[in-house]
């Protein structure tokens, strides 16, 4: 396949992107497989009523087998096999357990969404789709990206640009998994480089996304577009399915996270998850500079990155396009009621450069 058939798109990428996203670019060139092709071909045997502990044991063994095949470059030997039960089926079974006492994210509401209860994200059991289209506004190597917007989010950011979607002001619809997969396959044929699981936040819908992915036929890589607040259990389910993990590094401390997004224990959770994703996903990190939050947030994040993660393991996009939205526009948070200024941007970019980070500045 080619890189995008119906609109001019970038095919020249910075060296750091070529390094970190080598496998992704190989898949786009038809020289490698996206992970969902492999996970569907790994055979497992389980009973849906096995204990959760037993299901996880089987899962971990099968996932290791999958990584071994990939690292030995032998996954091609099994692609196309359709076992009676696959590792993806096992992941769906485990996710169905989790959604019945929901702990996809660290809010750990423990509600039974299958039985109609909802937690902090207000997401019911069935995925609610707001819109889906081929997005040209993501990073150059990600665009065009077939992006599915779903309602609901486990965060309540006071400046959210998609607040109508994330906070349930707009309406959405339930779609068949096979129809959603058909839309993805069709977008791939038109040149989409990936399926972008957007939001709100995709974490509450993991059990549903797996069922859509099961129906996808084309070799399209999958991008999980997250705020990074998922649990280790959720992360493990995503391993071997999601090719690109995108995490927003928003805040450098818990006070800002509590005040601006309504979540607890932000720093430990998101830094833990970011580190844990190294080597298991191709890692795209984003940091949106917020006005008046350079010292407390931007600087702390960049310094942490320089100390904790090797620069060949991620790409950081430093984003400068913050604009006041949602509750900020209603006058509730005056500190955020402006764009970021030139000094703030220059300070953050200079620090990223001085620290030797793998960064780009796009959008």
Number of residues that bind ligand SF4 (CB under 6 A): 15
Query: Distance between CA atoms of 360 and 286, rounded to whole angstroms?
Result: 10
- Give the shortest CB-279-to-ligand SF4 separation in angstroms: 25
CB nearer ligand SF4, residue 69 or residue 118: 118
CB nearer ligand SF4, residue 104 or residue 159: 104
Q: Which of 38, 62, 92, 123 binds ligand SF4 (CB under 6 A)?
A: 123
Q: How many Å separate Cα 46 from the centre of its chain?
A: 28
Is residue 360 at the binding interface for ligand SF4, with CB under 6 A as the rule?
A: no
Q: Which of 120, 193, 207, 236 binds ligand SF4 (CB under 6 A)?
A: 120
Is residue 309 at the binding interface for ligand SF4, with CB under 6 A as the rule?
A: no
The piece of 120-128, 160-168, 294-302, 330-338 that touches ligand SF4 (CB under 6 A) is: 120-128
Q: Which residue has the tokens 């990223």?
A: 352
- Give the shortest CB-106-to-ligand SF4 separation in angstroms: 7
- Give the shortest CB-272-to-ligand SF4 separation in angstroms: 16
* Local structure of 317: helix, strand or coil: strand
Question: Which residues ranging from 197 to 236 are in contact with ligand SF4 (CB under 6 A)?
Answer: 203-204
Q: Which residue has the tokens 């069935």?
A: 126
> What is the rounded radius of gyration, in angstroms, for the C-alpha atoms of the chain?
20
Tell me which residue of 113, 110, 117, 108 sits closest to 154, measured CA to CA. Answer: 108
Q: Which of 121, 151, 210, 247 binds ligand SF4 (CB under 6 A)?
A: 121
| DSSP string over 130-166 | EEEEEE-SS-TTT-SEEEEEES--S---TT-TTHHHH
CB nearer ligand SF4, residue 148 or residue 318: 148
CB nearer ligand SF4, residue 27 or residue 197: 197
Query: Distance between CA atoms of 212 and 293, rounded to whole angstroms?
Result: 38
Question: Which residues ranging from 66 to 105 are in contact with ligand SF4 (CB under 6 A)?
Answer: 102-105
Helix (H) or strand (E) holding 127: none
Q: How many Å separate Cα 112 from the centre of its chain?
A: 24
- Give the shortest CB-129-to-ligand SF4 separation in angstroms: 17
| DSSP string over 215-261 | H--S---EEEEE-S-B-HHHHHHHTTT-SEEEEE---SSHHHHHHHH
Contact letters for ligand SF4, residues 144-163 (x by CB under 6 A): ----------x---------
Q: How many Å separate Cα 266 from the centre of its chain?
A: 17
- Give the shortest CB-93-to-ligand SF4 separation in angstroms: 18
* Closest chain position to ligand SF4 (CB): 119
CB nearer ligand SF4, residue 247 or residue 348: 247
Contact 297, 317 (CB under 8 A): no
Q: Which residue has the tokens 């060296």?
A: 15
Residues in contact with ligand SF4 by the rule CB under 6 A: 102-105, 107-109, 111, 119-121, 123, 154, 203-204
């Amino acid at each position: 396949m080619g890189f995008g058939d119906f609109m001019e798109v970038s095919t020249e990428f910075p060296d750091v992107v070529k390094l970190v996203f080598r496998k992704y670019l190989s898949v786009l060139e038809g020289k490698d497989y996206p992970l969902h092709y492999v996970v569907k071909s790994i055979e497992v045997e389980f009973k849906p009523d096995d204990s959760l502990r037993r299901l996880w044991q089987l899962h971990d063994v099968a996932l290791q087998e999958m990584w071994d095949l990939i690292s030995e470059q032998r996954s091609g030997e099994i692609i196309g096999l359709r076992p009676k039960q696959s590792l993806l089926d096992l992941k769906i079974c485990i996710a169905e357990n989790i959604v019945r006492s929901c702990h996809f994210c660290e809010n750990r509401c423990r509600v039974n969404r299958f039985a109609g209860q909802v937690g902090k994200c207000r997401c019911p059991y069935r995925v609610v789709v707001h819109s889906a289209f081929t997005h040209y506004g993501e990073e150059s190597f990600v665009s065009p990206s077939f992006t599915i917007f779903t309602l609901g989010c486990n965060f309540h950011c006071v400046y959210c640009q998609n607040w109508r979607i994330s906070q349930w002001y707009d309406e959405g619809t339930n779609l068949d998994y096979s129809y959603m997969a058909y839309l993805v396959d069709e977008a791939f044929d038109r040149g989409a480089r990936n399926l972008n699981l957007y939001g709100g936040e995709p974490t509450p819908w993991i059990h549903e996304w797996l069922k859509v992915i099961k129906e996808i036929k084309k070799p399209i890589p999958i991008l999980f577009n997250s705020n990074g607040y998922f649990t280790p259990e959720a992360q493990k389910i995503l391993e071997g399915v999601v090719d690109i993990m995108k995490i927003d590094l928003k805040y450098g401390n818990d006070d800002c996270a509590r005040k601006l997004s309504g979540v607890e224990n932000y720093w430990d959770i998101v830094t833990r998850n970011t580190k844990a994703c190294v080597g298991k996903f191709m890692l795209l990190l984003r940091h949106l500079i917020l006005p008046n939050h350079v010292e407390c947030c931007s600087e702390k994040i960049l310094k942490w990155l320089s100390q904790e993660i090797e620069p060949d393991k991620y790409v950081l996009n430093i984003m400068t396009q913050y604009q006041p939205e949602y509750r900020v526009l209603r006058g509730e948070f005056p500190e955020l009621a402006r764009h970021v200024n030139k000094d703030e941007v220059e300070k953050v970019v200079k620090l990223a450069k001085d620290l030797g980070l793998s960064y780009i500045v796009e959008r």
